[in-house]
């Protein structure tokens, strides 16, 4: 029954995308390549000073889950920026990263409760699209915030997803000059961020001509599934030299699989997101690295964008936020930085 409902949800979302006259002239969004874009550091220069916010504005944030530290940190960023301007924020999430219907229900409820604007982090590229369509029809601004991308999103805030994989591939090219076998542990099939991260890695590393991607397998954001996937890959490829993993939770599962087979010195493991447990693992010499996309800062930027929209400013369709490759060489610099120091470093 649940599988049937999920299928109906996706069909309804796609029908809305195709049939909505409100989006008739809006090209499907690819947040990595969209030309109408601006860097987070350029908001004042491009659109003017942050506007005065009317009293009574309240913002609703709909997240993928609160079981993953990344999404909790994103919410912290929302609240941090909103507090400066006495703006009320409600931040809610589905029970887990596979509860598409639960997430949609939260979004629909927020629309009926009269929020001034909404911040959506969809579980898939389409599951929150019906709610986004309804909100837009009521002139409620909606900002799509990392990492799945609704094709008809009018505004998106987040990093360049493909660049996550590119950065990791370049590390292997620079640090493993003899090449070798590598593997990818992906997020859920069909999710924009997982697809882009994987493509960025595989396209870049294949161009070098020295590496062989022997497996690229989804583990659906699950640490346990990632452990099992990595174990199988390692058993079939005992000479593997590295993994690129689409998020840090899964990457930590891969690290456990590598440790269980005593291959820590041979196999490098990189994750994506920059959660605190990833930093701790890097500093402990276990996880090789991650690509930090700075969720607190991303949340602050997303809140700034949505508040500018409620004040009537016209903002670029995509606002890009920063990311950085983290290894033992620079982990302490980023991990210990206070928010203001971090902003200065990342703005350079």
In the prediction, which pLDDT does 10 show? 44
In the prediction, which pLDDT does 24 show? 52
> Which residues are paired to 183 by β-bridges?
215, 243
Answer whether 272's CB lies under 8 Å from 210's CB: no
In the prediction, which pLDDT does 18 show? 40
In a domain, 238, yes or no: yes
- Is residue 39 located within the same domain as residue 141? yes
- Is residue 96 located within the same domain as residue 109? yes
SS (H, E, C) 45-89: HHHCCCCCCCCCCEEEEEECCCCCHHHHHHHHHHHHHHHHCCCEE
- Is residue 168 located within the same domain as residue 196? yes
How far apart CA 159 and CA 321 sit, in angstroms, is 5
pLDDT in tens, 243-281: 999 999 999 999 999 999 999 999 999 999 999 999 999
Give how many domains the chain has, as a whole number. Answer: 2
CATH number at residue 317: 3.40.50.2300
> Which structural domain range is residue 77 located in?
28-158+295-321
The series of mean pLDDT values per 10 residues for the chain, 348 residues long, is 43 44 73 98 98 97 96 97 97 94 98 97 97 96 96 97 98 98 96 97 98 98 98 98 98 98 98 98 98 97 98 98 97 91 91
- Is residue 154 located within the same domain as residue 217? no
In the prediction, which pLDDT does 25 show? 73
- Is residue 113 located within the same domain as residue 184? no
In the prediction, which pLDDT does 278 show? 98
- The half-sphere exposure of 232 on its side-chain side, counting CA atoms within 13 A, is 13
């Amino acid at each position: 029954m649940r599988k049937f409902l999920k299928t109906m949800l996706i069909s309804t979302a796609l029908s809305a995308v195709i049939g909505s006259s409100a989006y008739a002239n809006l090209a499907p969004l690819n947040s990595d390549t969209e030309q109408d874009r601006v860097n987070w550091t350029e908001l004042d220069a491009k659109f003017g000073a942050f506007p005065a916010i009317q009293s009574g504005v309240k913002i609703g944030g709909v997240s993928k889950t609160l079981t993953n530290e990344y999404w909790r940190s994103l919410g912290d960023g929302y609240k941090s920026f909103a507090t400066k301007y006495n703006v009320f924020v409600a931040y809610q999430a589905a029970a887990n990263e596979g509860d598409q219907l639960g997430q949609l229900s939260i979004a629909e409820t927020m629309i009926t409760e009269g929020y001034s604007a909404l911040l959506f982090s969809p579980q898939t590229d389409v599951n929150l699209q019906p709610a986004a369509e309804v909100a837009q029809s009521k002139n409620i601004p909606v900002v799509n915030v990392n990492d799945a991308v609704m094709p008809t999103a009018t505004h998106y805030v987040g990093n360049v997803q493909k660049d996550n994989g590119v950065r990791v591939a370049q590390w292997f090219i620079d640090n493993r000059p003899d090449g070798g076998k590598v593997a990818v542990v992906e997020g859920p099939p069909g999710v924009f961020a997982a697809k882009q991260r994987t493509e960025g890695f595989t396209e870049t590393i294949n161009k070098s001509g020295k590496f062989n991607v022997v497996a690229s397998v989804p583990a659906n954001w699950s640490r346990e599934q990632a452990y099992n996937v990595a174990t199988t890959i390692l058993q079939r490829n005992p000479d593997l030299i590295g993994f690129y993993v689409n998020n840090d939770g899964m990457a930590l599962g891969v690290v456990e699989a590598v440790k269980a087979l005593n291959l820590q010195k041979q196999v490098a493991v990189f994750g994506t997101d920059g959660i605190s447990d990833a930093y701790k693992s890097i500093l402990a010499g276990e996880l090789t690295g991650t690509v930090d996309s700075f969720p607190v800062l991303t949340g602050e930027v997303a809140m700034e964008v949505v508040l500018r929209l409620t004040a009537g400013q016209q903002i670029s369709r995509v606002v890009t936020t920063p990311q950085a490759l983290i290894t033992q060489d620079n982990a302490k610099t980023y991990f210990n930085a206070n928010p203001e120091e971090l902003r200065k470093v990342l703005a350079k």
